[in-house]
Amino acid sequence: MAVDCLLASFILLIISKTGFSAEISVFVETGASVQLNIQTQGLTEFDQLSWINDKSVNIIKFFIETKKVRPHNSYKDRVDFNDKTFSLTLKNMQKTDSGLYTARTSGQSDKDIVTYRVSVIDAVKIPVLTVDSSWSNDSCVISVTCGGHELTLSSTFVYTACSREEVTSHEINTLILYCSEKSIICNHSNPVSWKQDRINITQLCEGKYQQSLYQTN
């Protein structure tokens, strides 16, 4: 049975540099929203504030004196701007929206306040767990293989003494194979989602035990 646990819009923040004008890495699930914030402390006086993408499009321009917010035509249906915190929310993010987003103030001089590196990625697929079990030496021995994305993990568990955990990762994808109480679980995750497949060991091993009794009689 596959248990599907999807996080709608989980955001992982990795702050690569600290302080003013840091570049902040954010992962967003395809179709989800992302909110880009500004640390308003330390902002010096300015006339206007813009959020700009790496194609030099002014996604929004905010004029402090009139409190007027002017979104770019191509963004106006999917952007929210907060004129108190100056945060920008972009909705329905697609992979083509991946890139840099910068908040810039203009006054006597221009100043970049913060830059976000946004990566829009799909949720992971459910991993595929395959098992093979046998009853040997009074124990149920289970050989497991779990595959997800470009990753594969294999292990052998002995019922009821399974405690080992196997982990592998490729780029931003991680696969974890472990044993929990009465199940073997394979968890496939990336920064925006995780999904698992699990197998009931009790069921699997009881079946093998019965077969072993039948064979010895």
Ligand X SMILES: *[C@@H]1O[C@H](CO)[C@@H](O)[C@H](O)[C@H]1NC(C)=O
List interacting residues with ligand X (CB under 6 A). Answer: 137, 182, 187, 189, 194, 196, 200, 202-203
Residue (74 or 200) nearer to ligand X, CB: 200
The CB-of-44 to ligand X minimum distance in angstroms stands at 40
Residue (130 or 203) nearer to ligand X, CB: 203
Residue (116 or 194) nearer to ligand X, CB: 194
The CB-of-51 to ligand X minimum distance in angstroms stands at 31
The CB-of-143 to ligand X minimum distance in angstroms stands at 15
The CB-of-16 to ligand X minimum distance in angstroms stands at 21
Residue (49 or 201) nearer to ligand X, CB: 201
Residue (88 or 176) nearer to ligand X, CB: 176
The CB-of-140 to ligand X minimum distance in angstroms stands at 13
Give every CB contact of residue 204 below 8 A, 6+ residues apart in sequence: 131, 133, 140, 142
